[in-house]
Amino acid sequence: MSPMTHALISYWHRLPAESPAVRRKALDATRERIRAGIEPHAALVPFALGDVDDGIVAAATQAYFAAIVLAAGAADATVEAITEVTDWVRRGLALNRGAVFGALLALEDERIDERLRALRLALSTTEVETASRVIGSGPGQRTTAFLEDWLTLIADSPLQRERRLLSALLESGRSAQAA
């Protein structure tokens, strides 16, 4: 077994026994150790792939992506990082795919959005709902454009609940901007 498999199994053993608040503190401590150079950025992967809490998964996903980009710095490394984190959604590696999707979309990165376009119709209704929660009530300009395009894509489809979710998210964004 790979070291990552062992790390995920260990995480899953702790998951039922630890509250989200305890896991969030562990995530924050891991992020600090990564910033200090004590741990590799891969230490964030069990939080991103193995947790079920939207906030923990989203924070771990964004921190992992940022750590890879910061460590690598090169454009090729950024493309590899985008491929890796979007594959978590594409291959169903994350327990909470919706939170990973929402966290990546909220990064407002054109290159990530391009990869996510190919994945958006593969999300279940529950995953679209989760992604909407992660994105929150104030999506940025690029995310808003992505959501509008998605809504147009499914306009004539039977995906009524998804249309309502995306419409509500866009409306909340407009309301937040108007306020």
Q: What is the pLDDT of residue 132?
A: 95
Give tens-digit pLDDT for 107-159: 999 999 999 999 999 999 999 999 999 999 888 999 999 999 999 999 888 88
Q: What is the pLDDT of residue 56?
A: 98
Number of domains comprising the chain: 1
Nearest to 146 by CA among 105, 115, 175: 105
Tell me which residues of the chain have a pLDDT lower than 50. none
pTM assigned to the model: 0.91
Q: Which domain holds residue 167?
A: 3-178
Cα–Cα distances (Å) from 109 to 16, 30, 75, 106, 122, in that order, read 34, 25, 13, 8, 20
Q: What is the pLDDT of residue 74?
A: 59
Q: What is the pLDDT of residue 176?
A: 67
